[in-house]
Amino acid sequence: MLLDNIALFVKIVENGSLAAAARQTGLSPTTVSERLSALETHYGVALLNRTTRSLSLTEEGRTLMLGARQLLDEAADLDGRIRLGAQNLSGLIRLSAPLDLGRTLVSEAIAAFQAEHPGISIDLHLSDGYADIVGLGIDLAVRFGEIGDSTLRVRALPAKPRLVCASPSYIARNGAPETPRDLQQHACILMRFGQSTDNVWKFISGDGKQSVRVDGSLIANDGALVRQWGLEGRGIMLKSEFDVMSDIRSGRLVRLLPEHKTPKQPLQMLFPPGRSQPHRVKVFAEYLATCFKTFD
């Protein structure tokens, strides 16, 4: 019963209210309140500050919340291994990935993994921006670029360059740039990361390194939308090889300036700090790493 009450406590915090947790779990608000009170009585402390309008964690509640997900994950992992056998995986994996990559390679990996392990459930959080993987209870995140949070555990994945590309229709109307500097005469589709716009594109060629400041009338913080705009012929974009290689092979996009390489973009898997991974997360992480390694 203690574990059940801890699980309910997590639901309350995640949903922001006792009433919302009651709706999600199918319990009555009275039952949810009584079970929260029983949990607080067990620990001898208040876990939540409750008013008619808001709910917040006490210091003790924050401590419980930090350990609760790990405890529940380990219990679910143990339960599945006993009931289904050590070789059968079951339970929930909370995963975060960039929008475009999440809808393509990561989504395909999830489908293949679940075909092998039907007892696995996936909760996929897609975002090109910062994601608080600890606060969201994420087990594993895939992220491009340098990682600022030094507390997270990091596993490097194969790095790929970004490719300059556009649709055949855009090239037919506007021609193709012959040098990186020519991009300044074209409509470029730009990504925004937080408050920063990615409008300085870097290249490496026989002439050395160069940076080109580009411009365009389309800016988005959604990599999938940037790719869609490029497919629609609305401009030239700079996208990860992971995201656009299938479009280039099919002819939906044309790679531009192939002799001018771009620096490889770091890619990594991130894990919460100081927390052992449930067996199912370890197995999925290995599977996902293999998918990235064999990408071609």
Question: Taking 70 as the threshold, does the pLDDT of residue 86 lie above it?
Answer: no
Tokens of 25: 């779990």
Write 73-80 long-range contacts (CB < 8 A, 24+): 73/139, 73/278, 73/281, 74/276, 74/278, 75/3, 76/278, 77/278, 77/279, 77/280, 80/119, 80/280
pLDDT level of residue 107 (50, 70, 90 thresholds): very high
What average pLDDT does range 88-102 have in this prediction? Answer: 88
State the CATH architecture for 2-69. Answer: Orthogonal Bundle (1.10)
Question: Taking 80 as the threshold, does the pLDDT of residue 26 lie above it?
Answer: yes
How far is C-alpha 207 from the chain's CA centre?
37
Instruction: Tell me if domain 82-156+266-293 and domain 159-264 are identical in fold.
Output: yes
Q: Which of 5-9, 95-99, 227-231 has the highest mean pLDDT?
A: 227-231
Q: Per DSSP, which regions of the chain are E strands? A: 48-50, 55-57, 91-97, 120-126, 140-144, 153-166, 189-193, 196-197, 200-205, 208-213, 218-220, 237-240, 254-255, 264-271
Summarised one tens digit per residue, pLDDT across range 112-162 is 999 999 989 999 999 887 778 877 778 999 998 877 666 788 899 988 899
CA 22 to CA 50: how far, in whole Å? 16
Longest dimension (CA), the chain: 72
Q: Pick 36 or 97 by higher pLDDT.
A: 97
What's the pLDDT at 36? 86
Question: Taking 80 as the threshold, does the pLDDT of residue 84 lie above it?
Answer: no
pTM higher than 0.85: no
Q: What is the CATH number of domain 82-156+266-293?
A: 3.40.190.10
Tokens of 218: 């389309």
Q: Which CATH superfamily is domain 159-264 in?
A: Periplasmic binding protein-like II (3.40.190.10)
Find out whether 239 and 128 touch, Cβ atoms under 8 Å.
no
Domain residue ranges in the chain: 2-69, 82-156+266-293, 159-264
CA 279 to CA 17: how far, in whole Å? 31
What average pLDDT is seen over the chain? 87
Backbone angles phi, psi at 215, to 5 degrees: -145, 160
